[in-house]
A = this chain, B = another copy of it.
């Protein structure tokens, strides 16, 4: 089962849920943004400056987190998100490459 922050294990990740998460333009842009950075790059939600309110931004990150795309890391002061590259490549080989190619 997902942990207290809603992160599913790779085996629990559902392809349709992931596809739905990626189908939204803003969320797709966030994942594409991570793929343009070095693997393991951590970023705050705010750093993406999405053209929506803070609460909507939080909602989108929750969808990605619960789909298994992102992991939230607590740093005391600010929380950061990191793309679960390794786990996604193992569970859905080729998926991130498709996003990267776009």
The chain A residues found within 8 Å of chain B, CB to CB, are: 15-16, 19-20, 22-25, 28, 92-95, 97-99, 102
Residues A97 and B94 in contact in the complex (CB < 8 Å), given A16-B23, A23-B23: yes
User: Interface majority SS on A: helix, strand, loop or mixed?
Assistant: helix
Which of the listed residues A16, A25, A28, A102 has the most CB atoms from chain B within 10 Å of its own CB?
A16
Query: Residues of B contacting A19 with CB < 8 Å?
Result: 19-20, 22-23
Residues A16 and B25 in contact in the complex (CB < 8 Å), given A92-B98, A98-B94: yes
Q: Shortest distance in angstroms between A64's beta carbon and chain B's nearest beta carbon?
A: 13
**Cα distance A98–B23 when bound, in Å?**
16
Contact of A94 (CB < 8 Å), options: B22, B94, B102: B94
